[in-house]
């Protein structure tokens, strides 16, 4: 089994809480760099997920209250979504690299990058069809909101478990890394989309 097969199998096995699957990801810098081909493959899925949440005919908020996501013209929303995702992800990677270096665990960073990118494929394959279902109108508004909420919290748990398995850290530390990712992602999205929403 090649690196692609091993890495994908590792990401899938981590869904089933197999901590030993972390060893399937490449631990060298070259392997981490190769995993960015997977990162590029994620970009259309990220745009598709954002499109589903903004333009399908059954708008929901994560917990079923408040205003639906503001509609931004597609010509501006697609590049904005890609830009926010790229800035947020690479900003998060830089912060993780510094944290691991300060902890004396810098050697774990390449495997962390590879695991993050490969597990992102699995998380997207779960989230996208559920988002389509939730926003399709086939489910009631409360049920659709519940599906989105469960999907969101599952993705956070999965990311925390992947982080814990790869870094060999405890739940508290893994949760801290996930919260850092959420904060950086939300802040970047707000900064990039905010001006577009103001002029739309």
pLDDT tens by residue, 130-181:
998 988 888 888 898 899 999 999 999 999 999 999 999 999 999 999 999 9
Contact at 8 Å (CB) between 26 and 114?
yes
What pLDDT shows up at residue 197? 58
Q: Write out the two tokens for 21.
A: 């699957």
Q: How far apart are CA 156 and CA 178, in angstroms?
A: 7
Please tell me the predicted confidence (pLDDT) of residue 72: 58
In tens, the pLDDT along 34-62 reads: 999 998 988 888 888 877 776 554 444 44
Phi and psi torsions of 186, nearest 5° = -65, -40
């Amino acid at each position: 089994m090649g690196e692609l097969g091993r890495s994908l199998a590792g990401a899938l096995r981590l869904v089933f809480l197999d901590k030993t699957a972390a060893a399937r990801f490449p631990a060298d810098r070259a392997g981490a760099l190769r995993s960015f081909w997977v990162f590029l493959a994620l970009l259309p899925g990220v745009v598709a997920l954002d499109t589903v949440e903004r333009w399908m005919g059954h708008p929901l908020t994560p917990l079923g209250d408040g205003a639906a996501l503001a509609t931004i013209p597609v010509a501006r929303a697609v590049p904005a979504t890609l830009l926010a995702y790229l800035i947020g992800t690479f900003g998060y990677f830089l912060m993780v690299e510094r944290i691991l270096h300060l902890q004396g665990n810098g050697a774990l960073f390449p495997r962390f990058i590879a695991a993050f990118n490969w597990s992102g494929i699995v998380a997207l394959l779960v989230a996208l069809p559920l988002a389509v279902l939730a926003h399709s109108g086939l489910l009631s508004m409360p049920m659709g909101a519940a599906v989105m909420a469960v999907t969101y919290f599952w993705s956070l748990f999965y990311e925390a478990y992947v982080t814990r398995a790869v870094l060999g850290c405890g739940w508290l530390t893994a949760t801290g890394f996930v919260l850092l990712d959420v904060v950086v992602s939300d802040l970047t999205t707000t900064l990039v989309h905010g001006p577009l929403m103001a002029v739309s």
